[in-house]
Chains A and B, each alone.
Chain A
Amino acid sequence: MADLTTDFLGIKTPNPFWLASAPPTDKEYNVRRAFEAGWGGVVWKTLGSEGPPVVNVNGPRYGAIYGADRRLLGLNNIELITDRPLQTNLEEIARVKADYPDRAIIVSLMVPCDEQAWKDILPLVEETGADGIELNFGCPHGMSERGMGAAVGQVPEYIEMVTRWCKQYYSKPVIVKLTPNITDVRKPAEAAMRGGADAVSLINTINSITSVNLDIMSPEPTIDGKGSHGGYCGPAVKPIAMSMVSEIARNAETKGLPISGIGGVTTWRDAAEFMALGCGNVQVCTAAMTYGFKVVEEMISGLSDWMDEKGYTSTQDFVGMAVPNVTDWQYLNLNYVAKAKIDQDACIKCGRCYAACEDTSHQAISMSADRVFEVIDAECVACNLCVDVCPVEDCISMLPMKAGEVDPRTGKVVEKEYANWTTHPNNPGTCAAE
């Protein structure tokens, strides 16, 4: 079994699976149970300044999007930061950290954007013995209306300023958690880096309304007839999160900046994918909130088995391995030609490929009277839609054509050489797209 020990910012944990700052990490009871269940670390739910804690709504805080059989695909929340006293949280953090020295405890923080507020809280956190802090610049609801959370994360100058204060008044690693509710995620990441951040973590939740109650005409979750946007998370946001992670991982300005990946990590494979895109570890929330802490067992066994199969001995071996293959559209090889191929033995004759191709794509699949579906190579552009809608795994595959063969669609010989849009004669000005 592969060793999953992961070193992130010098913080060693037995595996790369941390629980994200969220309800599961709000108190000692939960965090102890999470560690017993096998989680490598936690980011303790966000602490605010000393004084009366925030007040949460007393109605539904969550809304969900379901797939088949009420499988939860997306979750939305309007919960705020911890609503327990600062002192209580600090005492609990210190106690749990003392009992679990091999696990990471990162303290998530969100205080007003003035230097004194940070100067006040950071020494208190330092005293707990926690391994680092994560700056919550991402919470998209409630706190952002008070000038914190995403309101800071959307202004790179603020990120840089606050990060600098934290590096000044706190000795351990500082992770900046980024909001996805922004046009270009590279800008806040660069700001964090300029401010001296040791790492960024992303994504925080996405502004969302999960559903509308059509009887009372109110967004869900509904509090006394009104709803507010919440933060969206869970499996549905993973593609968005991975794209943002990859942007930072391959950005020249932020290259090498450690990343903690967050956003819909539900299985070992999700974790491996985030890590391949440059994340040193991952943070999980919705999977735990859906299935309980036990899900980490599958993540541990799955990642470990996969590493054994691939011959990786450390998680560091594959972190970032997919980054060089993330490129801009303009550099994709236009001389690469593939054709769909339907495995007739595997085909169950549902005709979904036909309907999709005939109605919405390239009319490149034929259907016979006895329901044999075949690809018409002269029409197929290898768009992959048939593969995506086919209910049978591996029934339809995309086979690359060999150099020298003639593409029946274009009548042109498939070239061996790589050629992209920047050199293609059809590209206006044959220059890179801006």
Chain B
Amino acid sequence: MPDATPMTPGITSGRLSAETLSENFDDLHPAYAPHEAAVAADRCYFCHDAPCITACPTDIDIPLFIRQIQTGTPEAAAKTILTQNILGGMCARVCPTETLCEEACVREAAEGKPVEIGRLQRFATDTLMDAGKHPFSRAASTGKSVAVVGAGPAGLSCAHRLAMHGHDVVLFDARPKAGGLNEFGIAAYKSTDDFAAQEVDWLLKIGGITVEMGQRLGQDLSLDELQNEYDAVFLGIGLSGVNSLRAAGEEREGVSDAVSFIADLRQASNLTALPVGRDVVVIGGGMTAVDAAVQSKLLGAENVTIVYRRGQDQMGASRFEQDLATSKGVRIIANAQPVAVHGNGAVAEAEFEYTTSNDDKLKGTGETFRLKADQVFKAIGQTLEGAPEMLDLDGRKIAVSAAGATSVKGVWAGGDCASGGDDLTVTAVAEGRDAAEDIHSTLMGGK
């Protein structure tokens, strides 16, 4: 029996038994059995110039891979997927398919029930990866070397494509483990069985990629040195800064960043030892907010509330994610902004003011309310930190061309740190891949 219960006040671990926690953090979308996959695949209409392909940031030929599943060749399906998206296994788990391929599926229009493209993709990629196969091989060595900084989705994708083209790649990352947000972000129930790490190992089977962990740009590495040492540099450094609330009392004990909580949870070897509050308030409206809120609830918090400053329809988290949260017992309060965090030392209450918006301009109504809180998570966005100063910015991100080239010759960037595209795993994969192609053609004298 756990020592604590969901009703135990304060931030404490062991609110739920190990068995309950293990059930709670089980796969959100369990893998298909082969017959389920066949039935699901049969629903695909093999559309002409399919809208799902257009909706996919990595342009996976979805009708083709589904037909390959249908004809009993899931490994061929996997190759179709991975050719476009080397992290197709993770994307199958974490992509907001409900706002991408599955939203575009004509069966969504026809009957409100799209072909389950994400789960089919997972069936194909899992089949191939479970068989221990890596379907790509390296081209003859070009003698060129490229530094890839950041071993998240963008960096991994870029490194793999470069290695495939015969370049030697050194992949640097500040953290002790590769994977980026696949490893340290994302709710645990979307990446079970240490999948992110397995996928990295599988990806590296291409060969030609040397991994250097614990190397932070700006501390252990400098762009100048990298430029001198390598023929090209790709930056996929993500957004390591966190926005602040700008509300009084933000520094109180019990107030922390949602991304850190999610990272701790992902790295925890024993969830019964991971502390969580009784009354948790998550401030923000994106995927990070939902991931933090749902996981707080699954860890045993009694009350979990997401508070978002704009209307619920403007939340960055998809409708599916919002429904997932509410189905787990999370309450969503929209149109309220943080005013102050109260407490005597540690947080005891969070205070909010209702808002209205006029032409997208947010305004407080003056009416406030307080929520009981012993833990407050900030999930109001991440910011670029540690980008080399010589690079031009576009707003708050590194400015890049469509192919990922920065303002500095020989330096490319992609993923969340770079301008253009949504901050999604799948978008990062596409940007890393496209930058690799541009680096390749540049290095090989294409331009």
**Is chain B found bound to chain A in the same assembly?**
yes
Can you pick out 16 interface pairs between chain A and chain B where the beta carbons lie within 8 Å of each other?
A68-B39, A68-B42, A68-B43, A69-B38, A69-B42, A349-B106, A349-B109, A350-B45, A350-B47, A351-B47, A351-B48, A351-B50, A352-B47, A354-B48, A371-B51, A392-B110
In the bound complex, CA of A75 to CA of B51 (Å): 37
CB distance B39 to A391 under 8 Å? no
The secondary-structure label for the interface of chain B is helix
**Size bracket, chain B contacts:** 10 to 19
CB distance A350 to B39 under 8 Å? no
Task: Flag whether B46 is at the interface (Cβ < 8 A).
Answer: yes
CB distance B39 to A348 under 8 Å? no
Task: Flag whether A355 is at the interface (Cβ < 8 A).
Answer: yes
CB distance B110 to A391 under 8 Å? yes
Task: Flag whether B107 is at the interface (Cβ < 8 A).
Answer: yes
Partner of A355, one of B35, B39, B48, B106: B48
Residues on the B chain within 8 Å of A351, using CB: 47-50
Residues on the A chain within 8 Å of B43, using CB: 68
Q: A328-356: which residues lie under 8 A (CB-CB) from chain B?
A: 348-352, 354-355
Residues on the B chain within 8 Å of A350, using CB: 45, 47-48, 106
In the bound complex, CA of A99 to CA of B208 (Å): 82
Q: Known contacts A68-B39, A68-B42, A69-B42: does B49 contact A348 (CB below 8 Å)?
A: no
Q: A236-260: which residues lie under 8 A (CB-CB) from chain B?
A: none
Partner of A391, one of B35, B45, B49: B45
Residues on the B chain within 8 Å of A392, using CB: 110
In the bound complex, CA of A350 to CA of B47 (Å): 5
Residues on the A chain within 8 Å of B50, using CB: 351
In the bound complex, CA of A352 to CA of B42 (Å): 15
In the bound complex, CA of A68 to CA of B109 (Å): 21
Q: A350-372: which residues lie under 8 A (CB-CB) from chain B?
A: 350-352, 354-355, 367, 371
Q: How many residue pairs between the two chains, A and B, have CB atoms under 8 Å in the bound complex?
A: 37
Residues on the B chain within 8 Å of A371, using CB: 49, 51
In the bound complex, CA of A354 to CA of B43 (Å): 19
In the bound complex, CA of A69 to CA of B39 (Å): 5
CB distance A349 to B46 under 8 Å? no
In the bound complex, CA of A68 to CA of B35 (Å): 11
In the bound complex, CA of A263 to CA of B50 (Å): 38
- What residues make up the interface of A, taking CB atoms closer than 8 Å to B? 68-70, 348-352, 354-355, 367, 371, 391-392
**Closest A residue, CB atoms, query B110:** A348
Known: A350-B48, A351-B49, A367-B49. 18 other contacts (CB 8 A): A68-B39, A68-B42, A68-B43, A69-B38, A69-B39, A69-B42, A70-B35, A349-B47, A349-B51, A349-B106, A350-B45, A351-B47, A351-B48, A352-B46, A352-B47, A352-B48, A355-B48, A392-B110
Residues on the B chain within 8 Å of A69, using CB: 38-39, 42
In the bound complex, CA of A350 to CA of B114 (Å): 12
**Which of A351, A355, A367 has the largest number of chain B CB atoms within 10 A?**
A351
Query: In the assembled complex, how far is the CB of residue A110 from the closest CB belonging to chain B, in whole angstroms?
Result: 40
Residues on the B chain within 8 Å of A354, using CB: 48
Query: In the assembled complex, how far is the CB of residue A36 from the closest CB belonging to chain B, in whole angstroms?
Result: 33
Query: In the assembled complex, how far is the CB of residue A49 from the closest CB belonging to chain B, in whole angstroms?
Result: 46
7 pairs of A and B residues whose beta carbons are closest in the complex: A351-B48, A68-B42, A355-B48, A348-B106, A348-B110, A350-B47, A350-B106
The interface bits of chain B over 30-69 (1 if a CB of A lies within 8 angstroms of the residue's CB, else 0) are 0000010011001101111111000000000000000000
In the bound complex, CA of A354 to CA of B106 (Å): 15
Q: B1-49: which residues lie under 8 A (CB-CB) from chain A?
A: 35, 38-39, 42-43, 45-49
Query: In the assembled complex, how far is the CB of residue A255 from the closest CB belonging to chain B, in whole angstroms?
Result: 44
CB distance B42 to A348 under 8 Å? no
In the bound complex, CA of A352 to CA of B47 (Å): 6
Query: In the assembled complex, how far is the CB of residue B319 from the closest CB belonging to chain A, in whole angstroms?
Result: 21
In the bound complex, CA of A229 to CA of B185 (Å): 59
**Closest B residue, CB atoms, query A68:** B42
In the bound complex, CA of A392 to CA of B51 (Å): 17
Partner of B109, one of A70, A348, A352: A348
Residues on the B chain within 8 Å of A68, using CB: 39, 42-43
The interface bits of chain B over 170-183 (1 if a CB of A lies within 8 angstroms of the residue's CB, else 0) are 00000000000000
Query: In the assembled complex, how far is the CB of residue B242 from the closest CB belonging to chain A, in whole angstroms?
Result: 40
Query: In the assembled complex, how far is the CB of residue A171 from the closest CB belonging to chain B, in whole angstroms?
Result: 53
**Closest A residue, CB atoms, query B41:** A68
Query: In the assembled complex, how far is the CB of residue B404 from the closest CB belonging to chain A, in whole angstroms?
Result: 27
Query: In the assembled complex, how far is the CB of residue B32 from the closest CB belonging to chain A, in whole angstroms?
Result: 14
Query: In the assembled complex, how far is the CB of residue B45 from the closest CB belonging to chain A, in whole angstroms?
Result: 5
**Closest A residue, CB atoms, query B39:** A69
Residues on the A chain within 8 Å of B48, using CB: 350-352, 354-355, 367
Query: In the assembled complex, how far is the CB of residue B364 from the closest CB belonging to chain A, in whole angstroms?
Result: 41
